[in-house]
Amino acid sequence: MDTTVGIGLLGAGTIGGTLIRRLVQEHDAIATKTGLDLQVRRVAVRDPAKRRAFDLPAELLTSDPAAVVADPAVQLIVEVMGGQTPAGDLVLSALRAGKPVVTANKALIAARGPELIAAAEESGVSLLFEAAVGGGIPIIRPLSETLAGEQVERVVGIVNGTTNFILTKMAEEGADYATALAEAQELGYAEPDPTADVSGADAADKAAILASLAFGTWVGPDQVYHEGIENLSAEDLAYAAELGYVVKLLAFAVRTPAGVSARVHPAMLPADHPLATIRGATNAIFIEGPSIGELLFAGPGAGGEPTATAVLGDVIDAARELLAGAQVAPRIQFSPSALVDFGDITTKWYVRLEVADRPGVLSRIAGEFGRADVSIKSVRQEGEGEGAVLLIVTHRAPEVRQRAAVQSLHDLDEVRSVGAVIRVESAEA
């Protein structure tokens, strides 16, 4: 039996270049372990003349990605070019041509997942995207296959290594945001334009995918509320530590009686929570369910080597199915479900205020929270006189009421500024 599978790559940057190098250098070891003869046949790149870290004959490189998809010598497509255009249409063309596709493109899967999954099923081929959410962490298969029979209740994750690195630097070394970001860029953890990472948009794409797979109802990225870390200060992270918390940018996918909720924002976690110990550029995803209890998946979530490992695993699976000629059954069915507006979710808030240190200030502030029907759990004052700071932690209340209370503080003469607002994750009310 011929076990050769011709592979075409769309993109050869950090992930694609690492994958090509491994397919070439580790070809014999992969063949021995899997019985597959994986051959790189065509690679689409922006500049075929550019010097690269992998060694391939020049005739295998092309600047025309459509030519890779159409090449009869290519049976399997790997899309690692990123973005939705032209990647989405290229992936769709490959699937409709009966060629399985492996991708690490979270933005594409989040935005066009249902369309692409339907095309794969119609053609009886695979669309695999293990690397799209957790890099080297296996999470797509556990959610869509191993836990398919579990009524998952909650998925919470640190799914962006850039922001976790920045927050770790700020919390442990007292670095300001700009300094921590610059170091992340210098080390290659952050892009020259880090907006997608630090704004929470990257994590929102991943939260959409996690929610869709966990609950069997497709959640689009535009249905995921997100905030980033740009307004956090080392001061707030230090205050959080004094209160017994660690601040992380978290992606949430939660099943509620009213429907599914998906969101991304900074959150204060109790210091003994499993996710609170995740440092640096590491990613981690925490899953809760009635039968499994709690599961934690952790590991490197970014970088060429970890992500290429996940892509390679998908390539091997897709190649096996291709050679077996199997009709690939849909790994999970999606059905409509109500999506809960974030304003209706109950949350706890930490609010830092710079205030005038004079009698009656606290009662005025407490009155604004009371008018919004938000109860205050604790108040702590730092400093005196012109440097007075109030740290307020509320009890749980609907998000919309918390926002209304804090918004009203801007109009008080006694409040000089409303600093950071961070949601607090804890079991108590």
- Active-site residue list: 206
Q: What is the Cα–Cα distance from 363 to 384, expressed in whole angstroms? A: 17
Range list of H helices, 139-223? 140-141, 161-173, 177-186, 195-198, 201-215
3-state helix/strand/coil string of 79-110: ECCCCCCCHHHHHHHHHHCCCCEEECCHHHHH
| SS3 state at 49 | coil
DSSP assignment of 295-307 equals EEEEEE-SSHHHH
Are 392 and 381 spatial neighbours (Cβ–Cβ below 8 Å)?
no
Are 378 and 351 spatial neighbours (Cβ–Cβ below 8 Å)?
no
Which amino acid is present at 182? A
Are 286 and 156 spatial neighbours (Cβ–Cβ below 8 Å)?
yes
Are 38 and 319 spatial neighbours (Cβ–Cβ below 8 Å)?
yes
Q: What is the Cα–Cα distance from 129 to 375, expressed in whole angstroms? A: 44
